[in-house]
Amino acid sequence: MKETTDIDILVSEVGPRDGLQSVKATLPTELKLEWISALAGAGLREIEVGSFVSAKLLPQMADAAEVVAHALTLPGLFVTALVPNLRGAEAAFSAGIHKITLPISVSEQHSLSNIRKTHAQLLEEVQAIVALRNERFPQVQIEAGLSTAFGCTLQGVVSDDETMAFAVKMAELGVDEVGLSDTVGYANPTQVRRLFTRLFRELGPLAGSAHFHNTRGQGLANVVAALEAGVKTFDGSQGGLGGCPYAPGASGNIVTEDLVYLLESMGLRTGVDIDRLVAAREVLRRGLPAEPLYGFIPDAGVGKNFTYAREAV
């Protein structure tokens, strides 16, 4: 997404993809469209609306093209999707997507579990996707999201050098940005600050977003550490929905509502209206009544002393 001057931090909502792919029930398409409209209406400017993957593997994502078509009608919304392979990339490009995110597992065991590819096969796939984009869809941005960048439930420790080697390789292959994902909730603030500082040093403007899970309660602490390292884009999922179906023990993402409150209370403009954001949860309650929704702000409110960053003197 292009930088704007009226916000300080971009909050990228990934619930319609990361959240919905991780629950057993399938949210009906009409409710999915209503939810995305409500999220955009609350001021979210970037939404990952789905994943272009086999409907047999993830039936929750079978309507991805229809969802993208709707999202593209929402004024000012930057529409993104996850793409695991060349076939999915071509479908996403043809649907008119603004940006695709490639799930690049630093852990080869996770790569085999998640997208059934060795590292060698994965690099060939990235090269083919970038070539297709360059030849036929030059307007589309490509992000490499480095999964298990901070550790893996299958491999265990993932070293900084392993993560940075993949980051540099993605840049060499021609992606537009590289983000770091704490897929299984292993990251801690010291590690986050260290890795993102190194990512900016190695890649400069290609250093991208932070994607944290709150599996062990470190999510928002990791956001603060990433802010200190210079990160300007953070993923969040409404209600804390999400996880990774191919990583045992990986629970939900950080809660978008709590993330926005944290940033705004720190004096950082997000452009998001918290009341309207919380109200958007009602669509999930109707469509996924058995699914628990998390978050402190939806329960406690923002408090009488709260002031949006844009209103602060």
Of 176, 9, 157, 186, the C-alpha closest to 99 is: 176
What Cα–Cα distance (Å) separates residue 146 from each residue in 51, 120, 195, 239? 16, 15, 12, 23
State both tokens at 99.
């940006």
Q: Which domain holds residue 130?
A: 10-311
In a domain, 1, yes or no: no
β-strand partners of 50: 81
* Amino acid identity at 149: A
In a domain, 130, yes or no: yes
User: Does the annotation count 244 as an active-site position?
Assistant: yes
pLDDT in tens, 271-296: 999 999 999 999 999 999 999 999 99
In a domain, 287, yes or no: yes
In a domain, 3, yes or no: no
Distance CA 209, CA 220 (A): 14
Q: Residue 191: give its domain's CATH number.
A: 3.20.20.70
- Whole-number pLDDT of residue 110: 66
β-strands 10-13, 177-181 pairing? unpaired
Q: Which of 58, 244, 247, 297 is catalytic?
A: 244
The torsion angles phi and psi of 35, rounded to 5 degrees, stand at: -65, -45
The CB density around residue 298, as the number of other CB atoms within 10 Å, is 19
Number of structural domains in the chain: 1
- Whole-number pLDDT of residue 298: 95
> What residue has token string 């001057």?
5
State both tokens at 245.
């179906």
Distance CA 239, CA 258 (A): 9
What Cα–Cα distance (Å) separates residue 267 from each residue in 9, 220, 272, 311? 10, 16, 13, 9
In a domain, 5, yes or no: no
Of 16, 21, 113, 23, the C-alpha closest to 71 is: 16
What is this structure's pTM?
A: 0.95
- Whole-number pLDDT of residue 72: 98
Q: Output b/e per residue, 181-209; b: 16+ Cβ within 10 A.
A: bbbbbbbbbebbbebbbbbeeebeebbbb
Q: What is the pLDDT along the chain (313 residues), one digit of tens a residue?
A: 666 789 999 999 999 999 999 888 999 999 999 999 999 999 999 999 999 999 988 899 999 999 999 999 999 999 999 999 999 999 999 999 999 999 998 987 766 766 677 878 889 999 999 999 999 999 999 999 999 999 888 778 989 999 999 999 999 999 999 999 998 889 999 999 999 999 999 999 999 999 999 988 999 999 999 999 999 999 999 999 976 555 454 567 999 999 999 999 999 999 999 999 999 999 999 999 999 999 999 999 999 999 999 887 5
Q: Are 153 and 250 in contact (CB under 8 A)?
A: yes
In a domain, 2, yes or no: no
